[in-house]
Amino acid sequence: MSAAEGPLVVGVDTSTQSTKALVVDVATGRVVASGKAPHTVSSGAGRESDPRQWWDALCEALRQCGDAAHEAAAVSIGGQQHGLVTLDERGEPVRPALLWNDVRSAPQARRLTEELGGATFWAERTGSVPAASFTVTKWAWLAEHEPDAIRATRAVRLPHDYLTERLTGQGTTDRGDVSGTGWWASGTESYDEEILSHVGLDPALLPRVVRPGEVAGTVRDGHDLPFSRGTLVACGTGDNAAAALGLGVRPGTPVMSLGTSGTVYAVSRHRPADPSGTVAGFADARGDWLPLACTLNCTLAVDRVATLLGLDREAVEPGTSVTMLPYLDGERTPDLPDASGLLHGLRHDTTASQLLQAAYDGAVHSLLGALGRVLDEDADASAPLLLIGGGARGTAWQQTVRRLSGRPVQIPEAKELVALGAAAQAAGLLTGEDPAAVARRWNTAAGPVLGAIERDEAALARIAGVLSDAAPLLERRTG
């Protein structure tokens, strides 16, 4: 490892499938060391993980970073949003965490919306209408199905909160991640006592919300991590807010993230409140807002279709007239938690590669349908769409987004943007800078720009038509 120009910081991304750690030079943004370790997610009706796996994975990822992690002056953790972590009096998990893509709480989401003033109430109060991914609906599901777990719970945390607390010994969260729970009032930026009372959650079980730029704590003794005692710990944030920091995005710049889930978002100066439920009115990690729309089915669903067809994920054939709605895990945008995948328009001459292209089209259509709601009215419609996430490197994803959006697409060369955003947040503690400005100084958004091509209006209309016609079938509840 060559000598660093400035102090070192650690940025962590604890995602659905793995935990990644980067050691970054504050002066240059250069990644001087990295590590990664996997964790598992249950299959079947639910999506759950043991939080202790996240800690073990963090320890292993940092071990891979070697001596550089020991030299770090600050650390921050970005993590998957919405997950419900319940801890007992010893700080141990009561049960596995319910993850964002566990949609068993769809009935509770509908019930909570109806019981507390409808969609408009929720949008105006919390910025978002409850969906099955939100933490408040998972708590309601747990109360209904596992009351013993509720009675044993002495602390409620989000995934990134859990790891931060194990570092510091203090129960903290941040405005970006807590804004996705459904029990934080975006207007007052405080816990909503009416909602908490309605779902039977004592606010004393919740973590303190740390303000942007505030130190959450310092690394405590008593663990095997390579940090020096007293290393500063930032508040951390949710993965989307961390990625926005990692890109250093300015208000109005559209971002599309292609991962296990797909998201579109943009930083805004205005507090969002969309009663349709399409846009979640999240806060960002700086003090602004991050209106965001999320789909449950993105790269994982398309890769599953490719596997079923026996194809490489790039083996697409354009010009298909087949429509596929790849809602393999239900769907959040559009709000169809009970849906399954749907295929329409098969012919004798339909090829497997055309079916795979249809899966791409269906996944991207869902994201683009929400983009207009995410962006403010004065946003530049010709600005490049920043394409990030694992799928952003794939030619088939890039071409599908260009064809269906009609916009230029920019592919940032920087990888691990969630961890980079967390590192920028940690760097801000040391330098006093806005973390987004730190990322811009690091030039993290630099990358090739693919020019705009004519938008495929026929494909967009065809997919929208099938979606509309199939609504009764997609909305049908099973089980």
Catalytic residues: 239
The answer for 432, left when phi > 0, alpha when psi is -120 to 50, beta otherwise, is left
3-class state of residue 78 by DSSP: strand
**In whole angstroms, what separates CA 174 from the centre of its chain?**
15
- What pairs with residue 328 in β-bridges? 330
To 5 degrees, how large is the angle CA 204–CA 205–CA 206?
90
From CA 91, how far away is CA 154, in angstroms rounded? 8
Residue whose tokens read 């710990």: 233
Q: What is the per-residue DSSP string for 136-150?
A: HHHHHHHHHH-HHHH
261: phi then psi, degrees, rounded to nearest 5: -105, 160
To 5 degrees, how large is the angle CA 32–CA 38–CA 42?
155
DSSP conformation class of 282: E
String of b and e for 21-40 (b: at least 16 CB within 10 Å)? bbbbbbeebebbbbbbbebe
From CA 233, how far away is CA 10, in angstroms rounded? 10
Q: Where are the beta strands (DSSP E) in 82-225?
A: 85-87, 97-98, 155-157, 172-174, 184-185, 190-191, 208-210, 215-218
Structure tokens at 81: 């949003």
* Helix residue ranges, H only, 382-455: 395-405, 417-431, 435-442
Residue of 313, 327, 389, 395 lying closest to 356 (CA atoms) = 313
Task: Provide the 10 A C-beta neighbour count for residue 315.
Answer: 15
